[in-house]
């Protein structure tokens, strides 16, 4: 099957075929998602929470994002790989933002980058796109704004979010993630834009959907948001395997002669 390039991704807006996106942070996971036909792998800065064990995305560094993006890129043959720009990698000036976006492409092997914010980031988005770096926006609930927001909760300011969406499209982004907004607003933004919307907690009318894979497949026992559906229960399966390993080693049934060299 053919590579999901940026133009292929964008063409789904018109064809109506839904776009599937999952996060990925390492090579084996990327390979599996790629093989199964996931359209786009997002190396999210949720890395900080689901891989590194922090309680927000704020501590994630540019070097860490480049490293994890490179692991995912090596595992993706067909999927479009998007590298997330971490907190403070694009807030201090347009030049630094372009350089950091470029690192995700040059060193990380990504096909595109993503950053958070709408109207306030329009100039930065334009500069990155002008440097030939395809960019995905991210509006609604923006987790890098957690210190200002105070908590992660649904965003309902329709006027502001529509303005952000239009600013992102106008600045040249090829897609936008819409996080934690009412489904009516998900629909309104999707209808207002010519670029695809990728929803997470934004209802069924978006052009595509994204989930954090540990949430989607049940490898988190932490709090899960309303918008998460568990498509598998990996925690239970994984636990069974670990329990069996411990039991058999303690009992002396593993390794058997079949598992041993003569
Ligand atoms: O970092 C991330 O995983 C994300 C998605 C949840 C959209 O930004
Ligand atoms: Na993110």
DSSP state of 143: G
54, 210, 213, 214: residue to mutate for ligand 1 pocket, most atoms within 8 A of CB: 210
Domains of the chain: 6-231 (3.20.20.60), 234-262 (no CATH)
For the Cβ of 116 lying below 6 angstroms from any atom of ligand 1, the answer is no
221 assigned to a ligand binding site = no
Determine which helix (DSSP H) or strand (DSSP E) holds 189, and give its type and residue range: helix 183-192
Q: Give me the pLDDT at residue 114, please.
A: 99
Closest protein CA for atom 1 of ligand 1: 44
Pair of tokens at residue 44: 């999210």
Q: Which residue's CA is minimally distant from atom 4 of ligand 1?
A: 44
45 lines ligand 1 (CB under 6 A): yes
Tell me the ipTM for this assembly.
0.99
CA 188 to chain centre: 22
pLDDT for position 248: 98
**N-term to C-term CA, the chain:** 45
Write down the pLDDT at residue 226.
87
Annotated catalytic residues are 179
Whether the CB of 212 sits within 6 Å of ligand 1: yes
Answer whether 207 contacts ligand 1 (Cβ < 6 A).
Answer: no
In the block, tokens 């996931």 appear at 38
Closest to 20 measured CA to CA, from 233, 237, 231: 231
CA of 121 to the centre of ligand 1 (A): 17
pTM of the complete model: 0.97
In this predicted structure, what is the pLDDT of residue 210?
Answer: 98
Residues of the chain with pLDDT under 50: none
Report the pLDDT value the prediction gives residue 223, as an integer from 0 to 100.
63
Of ligand 1's listed atoms, the one at least distance from the Cα of 84 is 1
């Amino acid at each position: 099957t053919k590579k999901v390039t940026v133009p292929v991704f964008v063409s789904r807006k018109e064809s109506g075929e839904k776009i599937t996106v999952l996060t990925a942070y390492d090579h084996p996971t990327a390979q599996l998602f790629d093989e199964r036909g996931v359209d786009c792998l997002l190396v999210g800065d949720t890395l900080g929470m689901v891989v590194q064990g922090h309680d927000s995305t704020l501590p994630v560094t540019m070097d860490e994002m480049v490293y994890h993006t490179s692991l995912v890129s090596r595992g993706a043959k067909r999927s479009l790989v998007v590298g997330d720009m971490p907190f403070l990698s694009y807030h201090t000036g347009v030049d630094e933002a372009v350089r950091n976006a470029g690192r995700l492409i040059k060193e990380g092997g990504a096909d595109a980058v993503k950053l958070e914010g709408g109207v306030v980031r329009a100039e930065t988005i334009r500069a990155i796109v002008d440097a030939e770096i395809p960019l995905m926006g991210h509006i609604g609930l923006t987790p890098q704004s957690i210190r200002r927001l105070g908590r992660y909760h649904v965003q309902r300011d329709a006027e502001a979010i529509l303005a952000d969406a239009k600013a992102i499209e106008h600045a040249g982004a090829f897609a936008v993630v819409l996080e934690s907004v009412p489904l009516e607003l998900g629909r309104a933004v999707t209808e207002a834009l010519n670029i695809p919307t990728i929803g997470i907690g934004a209802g069924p009318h978006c052009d595509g959907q994204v989930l954090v894979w540990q949430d989607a497949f049940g490898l988190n026992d932490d709090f899960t948001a309303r918008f998460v559906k568990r498509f598998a229960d990996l925690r239970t399966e994984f636990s069974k395997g670990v329990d069996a390993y411990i039991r058999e080693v303690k009992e002396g049934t593993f390794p058997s002669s079949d598992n041993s060299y003569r």
